Amino acid sequence: MIVGVGIDVVDLARFEQTLARHPRLRERLFTPAERDLPPASLAARFAAKEAIAKALGSPGGLAWTDAEVRRGSGGRPVVEVSGTVAAAARDAGVRTWHVSLTHDGGVASAVVVAEG
């Protein structure tokens, strides 16, 4: 059963400029495993985190670093949640996450499906 679907799009140039102006933003938005990725990959992961929140119904109080997008087997992206995001997912009945990322043509985007 589908619990929720989220989608988000990020302008790559604007995202890179924001990271350059606010260097500590990487620490606030990304886990240690994510922080050293190239800007386009970070933008796609930021879009995924936004999409995760939307799939959960945008509850308040979610910590950005409580959702991590990793490369799974075969290069497929995988969502791992902890803390505030895991609690919201549990409350919503989410058991499985599906995520698709892309970055091309000056944008990064992500689609997330939360399955119960």
Asked if 101 and 72 touch (Cβ cutoff 8 Å), the reply is: no
pLDDT, tens digit (0-9, with 9 covering 90-100), for 12-67: 999 999 999 998 999 999 999 999 999 999 999 999 999 999 999 999 999 999 99
Q: What are the residue ranges spanned by the domains of the chain?
A: 2-115
Q: How far apart are the first and last CA of the chain?
A: 5
CATH number for the region 2-115 comes to 3.90.470.20
pLDDT, tens digit (0-9, with 9 covering 90-100), for 79-102: 999 999 999 999 999 999 999 999
CA–CA separation, 49 and 47 (whole Å): 5
Q: Is 103 a catalytic residue?
A: yes
Query: Choosing from 22, 49, 54, 98, which is the catalytic residue?
Result: 54
The pTM is what? 0.95
Asked if 112 and 53 touch (Cβ cutoff 8 Å), the reply is: no
Quote the Cα angle for 68-39-23, to 5°.
Answer: 85
Query: Amino acid identity, residue 91?
Result: D
Region of 31 please: left (phi>0), alpha (psi -120 to 50) or beta.
beta
